[in-house]
Structure 1
Amino acid sequence: MRIRMQAGVVLASLWMFFALFGGTAQAHFSSTGFSDITIKDHKLEYNLFLPERELLEALPTLDQNGDGQISANELTDGKDTLTALVNDRLIVTGNSKVGNGALTAVKQTEKAKMPMVEIDITYDFAEPVERYMVQYNFYDGTNPDHRSFATIRMGQQSIVQVINSSNNILEMEGYHGADDGKEGQSTDDRDDQSSMITTSSSWTSQLSEYTKMGMEHIWSGADHLLFLVGLILAAGTSGWTMLKLISAFTVGHSITLVLSALDLASLSPLIVEPLIALSIVFVAFENLYRKNSNDNKRMAVTVMFGMVHGFGFAEILHGTLSGHVALPLFSFNLGVEIGQLAVLAIVVPLLLLCRRFKLARSPIWKYGASSIVGLMGMYWLIERLVTI
């Protein structure tokens, strides 16, 4: 009788899952590009890195043989199409005059452990530029959650900015330093410029920027959040067990976040993303079928899966950290923890409130909720394995 009840609840949950989420359930499968910008006296050099699959979504005609991939020959043949795309999606002005981008190179490469297409563009201006402005629109028509990490270099100085759909305009002072071949510039002038660049990337702005990035990443990562929900369901009514499991998850992802962001350990997102989905399936399966769980064993498994999720968190930082990394790492991890606590502050009281009702105290609640968690994890697992 009990087995039939479990099977019935799982089937009902399956129907509810496809009715509510079929065709719409998506997680934060990597949508990250990079923009390496070098500012010179009357020239701006832009090295644009886009994921191959997103470039194909924007320009399906690049795939001439229809095999779902971009070859080196197809990139060469599509150079005119790429030039038109760049001039449409990337607007660069110098002293309020729109520059015309000239593609100097297009090639396949790898960045942040992901296959990318690198497009090198040069914007030349007739006169020295006092102020540049870049408007980035490559998320249009592809993934609205796409973001690009812009590393802006001015002489020996560099800063990092995050470009996304709500913050897609960069404004930068022109650079007239000795690196551009100008003789006779005084030390005081160069010091003034270095001071200006340092101020624009002060520790307070970095703290704010990377903390916000961490919060947004956990909130936009439905898979991370669902794993947390699975842990909460595993804890039952025990607040102490819940605290231990969440702490184990935090310890795990903090370890690999640091190791991966520092390039001391790494895994390709093509491996990490299916493993994250598998972690959701596993915790849901445990909730459904393990009657007497060993807390120490479950904590060890949670630490292990937390380490997997840590690689997923660190994916967003790859290629953006250079020089001083302590503050960005601390800030990003702080943002992840704040975002995680904010979610718990909403979900836990709701679950406790639900358990006041008779239905929520019955096995149907546990089997139904855990089944939905597991089905969504399975959906993402299959989706990510198919797209590898």
Structure 2
Amino acid sequence: MAYAARRSAQAVAVAVLAATAFLFLSTGPAAAHGFTSVAYVDLTSPEKGHVRAVLALEYDLLVVSAADAGQDDPLFQQGDAAFKDGDPAEQAAALQAHADSVTDYVTERFGISADGDECAAVRVGDFTMTERDGVPYAQIVLDHSCPVSAVAHDVRSELFPDSEGYVRGTKTIVTYDLDLRTGSAALDATQPSFSTDQSWTERFWEFFRLGAEHLLTGLDHILFLLALIAGSRRLREVVLGATAFTLAHSVTLILAALGIVRVSPSFVEPMIALSIAVVAGWHLWRLLRRGTHATDLVTVGDSHVSLDRAGWTRLAVVFCFGLVHGLGFASALGIDQAWSWTLLWSLVVFNVGIEAVQLVLIASVFPLLALLRHRSPVLASWTTGTIAAFVSAMGLIWFVERVV
């Protein structure tokens, strides 16, 4: 019987580690910058049959993609030199000197149609430069001529596709005020177009999917959640921790998206990495001090929360780090506009997508961990300690990389 119990506990331990490894291998890189890109489009209609699109595109990516597509090597040479110099005026001048190549690239991959016909696009004015999260972005204005009788418009974006080999998973965040409708949409390779006539359920799914994908493809956020699960002693702790994390990042996500709070990625990214190391290291510290008693919980009071001092302290730490993670989420979502109920709807649904994935991960890993602790506390300590040590090491490595 004892042998069978040990074998059963070992099988559960293997299952916990396998689930952790699967989550690690199935997610994308933690350092999203340099691997992904976000394009921003604002659509308005000054008059019937006229749609104006203001696009903001990552400058260095636009230069290399447009130069490659148009076989315009001088564009790359001049644009790359301007990028290295860091002079916005020089960067805008480089684009202007090769305006045809850049405009052809953009209009081929971004378009608007109405009643089944493509709206003719014409570039308006000169290229201008702006900055998002410390990254130079080029702005281009396109005027589209559409049928006056159109009651809805279809928008497509295939900017910076994976096939170019420079970035992967490009998202285009579109905000629009067209056809007596206002809203936002998130386009990518799996959903490259949308209609302004879309239903509320379609809008819900777009931002729900965007939130879910961002968590699933962000290894740093996944590891933070794993550290939270491994160090939680009871189901209530991990649920409260995940809820505190969601509430915290919701606050900063909304404030950052509204432009009220602006924090440099040079601070946010290292702090996200540090948060992973700290939360995982917290559990390692308890294991070193208390061994198998690290999971003991001294309840206080008769409330349903019933957290002890260590639980409340850990919850506060998770909440504070959640505020930092929200700034990272805001950077990924990329909405930067004045207050509106449409904006709030998009942000809330984005958060719902994040929370749904968190709950699925908790439901997948924590029951196995609880079963292991019941069958073999010693083996459970070794298993969670291994997970915490790995996660903490990754967090520290990323912290140093991002600081340097």
When the two structures are superposed, what TM-score results if normalisation uses the length of structure 1? 0.73
Shift of 1:311: 2.0
CA distance in 1, matches of 2:389, 2:381: 12
CA distance in 2, matches of 1:368, 1:145: 32
Post-superposition CA distance 1:261-301 (Å, at most 9, x none):
44443423443222111111222222323436833322221
Superposition map of 1:231-246 within 5 A: 231-235=228-232, 237-246=233-242
Shift of 1:91: 3.7
* Structure 2 residue corresponding to 1:31, chosen from 37, 58, 62: 37
Could you say which residue in structure 1 is the equivalent of 2:307?
none
CA distance in 1, matches of 2:82, 2:403: 23
Q: Which residue identity lines up with residue 361 of structure 2 in the other structure? A: V
Could you say which residue in structure 2 is the equivalent of 1:305?
321
Q: Is the 8 A contact 2:248 2:323 kept in 1?
A: yes
Post-superposition CA distance 1:44-64 (Å, at most 9, x none):
322111233533553571213
Tell me whether 201-210 or 323-332 shows the greater mean CA deviation: 201-210
Could you say which residue in structure 2 is the equivalent of 1:368?
386
State the secondary structure of the residue aligned to 1:63.
helix
CA distance in 2, matches of 1:121, 1:252: 38
Q: Which residue identity lines up with residue 383 of structure 2 in the other structure? A: W
Superposition map of 1:277-296 within 5 A: 277-290=273-286, 291=289, 294-296=310-312
Shift of 1:155: 6.8
1:341 aligns with 2:337: no
CA distance in 2, matches of 1:360, 1:152: 57
Post-superposition CA distance 1:287-331 (Å, at most 9, x none):
323436833322221111111112223331532564214433433
Q: Which residue identity lines up with residue 107 of structure 1 in the other structure? A: T
State the secondary structure of the residue aligned to 2:261.
coil
Could you say which residue in structure 2 is the equivalent of 1:380?
398
1:110 aligns with 2:131: yes
Q: Which residue identity lines up with residue 30 of structure 2 in the other structure? A: Q
Could you say which residue in structure 2 is the equivalent of 1:160?
184
Q: Is the 8 A contact 1:261 1:317 kept in 2?
A: yes
The count of corresponding residues between Structure 1 and Structure 2 is: 338
Q: Is the 8 A contact 2:38 2:334 kept in 1?
A: no
Q: CA RMSD for the aligned pairs? A: 3.5
Distance 1:63 1:70, change over 3 A: farther
CA distance in 2, matches of 1:160, 1:331: 12
Unaligned runs of 5+ in 2: 1-20, 68-75, 295-309
Could you say which residue in structure 2 is the equivalent of 1:147?
171
Q: Which residue identity lines up with residue 43 of structure 2 in the other structure? A: I
Q: Is the 8 A contact 2:252 2:261 kept in 1?
A: yes
CA distance in 2, matches of 1:118, 1:272: 25
Distance 1:56 1:230, change over 3 A: farther
Q: Which residue identity lines up with residue 278 of structure 1 in the other structure? A: L
Shift of 1:108: 1.1
Unaligned runs of 5+ in 1: 1-16, 173-199
1:225 aligns with 2:222: yes
CA distance in 2, matches of 1:54, 1:359: 52
1:211 aligns with 2:204: no
Shift of 1:203: 4.9
Tell me whether 245-254 or 157-166 shows the greater mean CA deviation: 245-254
Could you say which residue in structure 2 is the equivalent of 1:184?
none
Shift of 1:112: 7.0
CA distance in 2, matches of 1:53, 1:159: 29
Superposition map of 1:1-388 within 5 A: 25-29=29-33, 31-39=37-45, 40-56=47-63, 58-59=65-66, 61=76, 62-64=79-81, 67=84, 69=86, 71-79=88-96, 80=98, 81-93=101-113, 96-97=117-118, 99-111=120-132, 115-124=136-145, 128=148, 130=150, 132-140=153-161, 141=164, 142-154=166-178, 157-171=181-195, 200=197, 203-235=200-232, 237-290=233-286, 291=289, 294-315=310-331, 316=333, 318-319=335-336, 322-324=339-341, 325-352=343-370, 361=379, 364-386=382-404
CA distance in 2, matches of 1:268, 1:38: 30
Distance 1:58 1:376, change over 3 A: farther
Shift of 1:226: 0.9
CA distance in 2, matches of 1:158, 1:53: 31
Identity within the alignment, % = 26
Q: Is the 8 A contact 1:148 1:164 kept in 2?
A: yes
Q: Which residue identity lines up with residue 283 of structure 2 in the other structure? A: N
Q: Is the 8 A contact 1:230 1:284 kept in 2?
A: yes
Shift of 1:169: 2.0
Q: Is the 8 A contact 2:248 2:320 kept in 1?
A: yes
Distance 1:139 1:379, change over 3 A: farther
CA distance in 2, matches of 1:148, 1:203: 19
CA distance in 1, matches of 2:225, 2:368: 14
Distance 1:47 1:273, change over 3 A: same
